[in-house]
Each structure stands twice: as C-alpha cells, then as structure tokens.
Chains A and B, each alone.
Chain A
Amino acid sequence: MTVSRLESAPGTAVPGRCVQGRVMTQPLTGEVLARRIKEVLGGVVDDANATDVWVRPQSVLEVCRFLKETPDLGFDFLNSISGVDYVEYFEVVYHLTSLVYNHSTVVKTRVYGREEPTVPSVLPVWRGADLQEREVYDLMGIVFAGHPNLKRIMLWEGFPGHPLRRDWSEPDYPYTWPHGG
C-alpha cells in the first residue's frame, strides 16, 4: 500500500477560515461592544469599561448568541469560563475570541446571593462550555440553568461545599488509616 504524504502536507489551511495578515489578537473595547449589544437587545448591559462588558445574568445566553451570530463580531470561539467569588457577589467571566477576525473580548456577569446563584448555560451556543460549566459548578457552586449534565466533575458527589468559594474552609475530617497505624 502506498500513501502519498502530500495528503497532509503543511500549509493546507481551509480557505477563508482565518484572516491572514493581522498579527495580534485585537481586544474589542467593552464600550464599543456595550453599544452594539444595547442597539439590538436593549437594556441588558449593566456596565462597561475599556476591556470588559458586564451583562445581566438572565440575559447571558441571548448576549452570547448575539455575539456569536452577528457577522462582523463572529465570536465563534469560547476561550474559557471562570467563576470568581467577590464575597458580595459571584462573577462569571467569559473570554471570547473570533478566529475569523482575530479579535477578543471579555463578557462578565455579576450574580448575587450565596444559595444557588444561577446563570443560564451557554452550551447551546458553544459546546466548549460543557466541561467548563461543570467545573465552575463543582468548585464555585454556580448553577448553570439548562445544562443537561450538570454534576460534579473534579470532586465526588456528596463533597461538602464548593472549595473555591472564599468562605469555604476544610472540614476536620475524622481521618483514620484503614488498618490502624
């Protein structure tokens, strides 16, 4: 059997997938993005600064869908979902990139309350949210409504609390070795 190695020769990129020439990922400012979101979705934007835009927790899904499906924004790639506990509130941070235009942005949402803070899942928009939302749920205790398989990922079922919260402290385990000693 002969195989032509040219089949996977370097430099055979899918045409039109990535814009050539732009050398750095351009961050879109939060103000610009906030204006674009307000034009279409109305008052879902809480706040914006030079780098980030804050949106209402209940409208995260529609904002994300807008960011992904608007042709000149085209945020087709979800870098990461992070949860941060600011004690007063939780912040869920979405780092987004467009592979087509090579620009990036940071979308955030503040969610108040320590008992079951809830944010809609962005899984319908990006499959990449699947394991990350489970991780944030497991370690930070933020519930992603609409996630089909929201269960603990790193820790076991029945683990007391969510360890990345600032008020979590290690319980004193009555630890004994199985065979004495």
Chain B
Amino acid sequence: MPLRTEPITINLGPQHPSTHGVFRLRVTFDGEVIQDVEPVFGYLHRGSEKLAEERTYTQVITLTDRLDYVASMTSNQAYVIACEKLTGIHPPERGLYLRVIAAELQRVASHLVAIGFFLQDLGAFATPLMYCFRERERILDLFEMLCGARITLSYMRIGGVFQDAPEEFWPALRRFLDEMPGYADELDALLSENEVVVARTRGIGVLPADLLINASATGPVLRASGVAWDLRKKDPYDVYDRLEFDVVTASRSDNYDRYYVRLQEIRQALRILEQCYRDIPEGPVRATLSNLVRPPVGEAYGRVESPKGELGYYLVSDGSISPYRCRVRSPSLINLTLLRELLMGWKLADLVVSFGSIDINMGEVDR
C-alpha cells in the first residue's frame, strides 16, 4: 500500500524564540517540506507614522529609535538627513564625522546581533551569541559615553548631533578599534569554515539577483547576490564620499553568503572608523538653530544604508512645526517580500535559518 501524506498547516509564532520578535508565520507542510508560507504582521504595530504627525520635528527623533531598536543610530540618521533635505540646513564637519562614527559603530553592533542570532537559529545555542554580545556590549558602552543611552539613543539632531563626544570617548574608541579586528578574526575562525555551519547554510535559500532587485530587497540580502549596491557608495551622504571602503558582495546568494557579507561588512566598518578617528576635525558639532524646527512647505526623501538595507524617510511639510506626513521605508518589511520564494521547497529545519539570514527587526517591520 503506498504511503499517503496530506498537507498540515501549523503556526510559527508570534511567541516563538526564533522569530526575532513577535512575528507569526502560517506554514503549510507536506511531511517535512514547506509548501506554502503566509507571514502575519502587525503584532508590534504602534502607529509611529501617525504619532509623528502630532510631534515636533525634533521629538520625532525619539520615535525613530523605537523602529529598529538594535540599530537606532541609523534610524536617527535617516530621519535627520530627510529633515535636513527639507530645511536646507548643513551640519558642521565635526557633527558629520561623529554621525558616521556612531552609524558605523551601530552597523558593527547590528551585524554582530544578526550573526549571533543566525548561529543561534542554526542550533549553536548561546555560545556564538554570547561571543557576539560580548563585543556589542563594548559598543553600547561607547554609546553610553556619547549620549547616556544604550539602546534608544536619540543621539542625532537636525543639523548635527546632540553633543560632542566626551574626552574619555576617544581612548575608549581607540581601544575598541585595536581589539575589534582580532575579535572579528576570532568569529571568522570559529564560524566561517565550521563544517556544520557550511553544511547547513551553503546552497540553501538561494534568491536570484534579478528577483531580489525586482522585489526591492536591499542591504546584505541584495549584496550577497553579487549586486554591489550600497548607498554609502552610490548616493553618499554625510562624509562617506571622503572615506575609503569596499562594498562587500558575494556571488551565491544563499544563507552562507548573507552571513559572510555581514561578517566582512564589520571589517569594512572598522576601516571607516579608523579613518574617521584619524580625520575628525575640531569645531562645533551642531548647527545653531532652535529645537522647534519649522521647515518650509515641501517634501523630501532622505535615505541611508542601514545595517538592514535602504532606510528611507519621506517627509511632507506644510510649514508647521510637525510633519504633515512621515512615511518610513523600512528595509526589514520590504526584504520579507520574497519570504515565500526563500522558504518554499525547503525543510522545516531550514525555515528559521533562512529567516534568520534576512536579519529583520520586528520594531521596524511593524512600526
């Protein structure tokens, strides 16, 4: 008698340890093979875009922290760049350098979290995660020196940054820059040629480059398919046009490549930090303007390369003290467009790994 299977639908989440937040997937399996995937969003929806309409331009910065809460600096940066496009304010040099330093530290921290949880999803329970968090902790200490906060930073302001870095920041940054490359090598040696990691991730969850571009995917997900698209190079903001770094790409677009691109981007971020540490000029850190910004009527789309991809803010001003419309183009949500293509046909055990390789943050997905 032939064995007959019938499809079974199960819920993954919203309170599942490997969904990186409150994310729910309705998955249909045939035996162990994924047949259909339907993501369910909205468990962390706080209506940030609506809330922004009732706050002043400066107050909205605190909302942007709470979108991608493992990369608050780049959220701040995207928003203040959009505001500066709207108002035509030019921040002073030192402010721009401090922003780049903060954003690149945040990129290292965010990629460390991504790599740590990716390994956690592979079943390497806690050890690689703690290695990554050990280094992230030092970045959070640096942030604490900069602005007093560790997660919800609100460090950047329209026209610069909140305040100059204190004296003890610079030796601490120097020590971090001296030691971090060794830690990146350690992580590389521990993971990149690990037999289990390679066997579980190589060739799994392949997404072709054309499909990724068509689906508006950005960030390491797109670069892992060989498309060298990085806004820091292609549409430089702040002082990235003066800094030397490589756009990291890979060619196979599988789970391994997405991990490996992130690991290499940590090294490139350290290169950028070295140059900023060397080149940062003296001077004011913030353009002189009132906290109550009143931009002229108009609109602006400001975008940055956040650790997850292109983070954009589309602001519409009606000339009042709060944005008429504040729309967030969130890379975490849009990178999930191809979730079905990513997971279909693979097995249950690959689901959380492929999902982890995209590196989403639910605060930014649901907003």
A interface list, Cβ under 8 A from B: 1-3, 5, 7-8, 10-14, 17-18, 23-25, 76-80, 82-85, 93, 95, 99, 102, 106, 126-132, 135, 139, 152-156, 163-164
Contact = CB atoms under 8 A, between A and B. Distances in A.
Given A17-B226, A18-B227, A10 B214 contact: no
A153 B39 CA distance: 9
Given A76-B214, A126-B215, 16 more contacts: A1-B199, A7-B250, A7-B252, A10-B249, A14-B226, A18-B228, A18-B229, A78-B216, A79-B301, A84-B327, A95-B301, A99-B227, A128-B215, A132-B334, A163-B50, A164-B325
Interface in B229-264: 229, 233-236, 241, 246-252, 256-257, 260-261, 264
B47 interface: yes
A79 B216 contact: yes
Size category of the B interface is 35 or more
A24 B235 contact: yes
Interface string B37-56: 00001100101011000000
Contacts of B236: 23-24
Interface in B171-215: 192-193, 195, 198-199, 202, 209, 211, 213-215
Contacts of A76: 213-214
B216 A99 contact: no
A153 B217 CA distance: 19
B329 interface: yes
Contacts, number: 143
Contact of A154 (B41, B246, B249, B251): B41
Interface string B119-134: 0000000000000000
Contact of B226 (A12, A126, A153): A12
Nearest to B336: A131
B155 interface: no
Contact of B312 (A10, A83, A95, A164): A95
Contact of B248 (A10, A102, A132): A10
A81 to B, nearest CB: 9
A106 B303 CA distance: 14
A8 B257 contact: yes
Q: Which of B235, B241, B246, B256 has the largest number of chain A CB atoms within 10 A?
A: B235
B338 interface: yes
B252 A128 contact: no
Given A13-B228, A82-B327, A164 B49 contact: yes
Contact of A128 (B227, B264, B334): B334
A5 B333 contact: no
B316 interface: yes
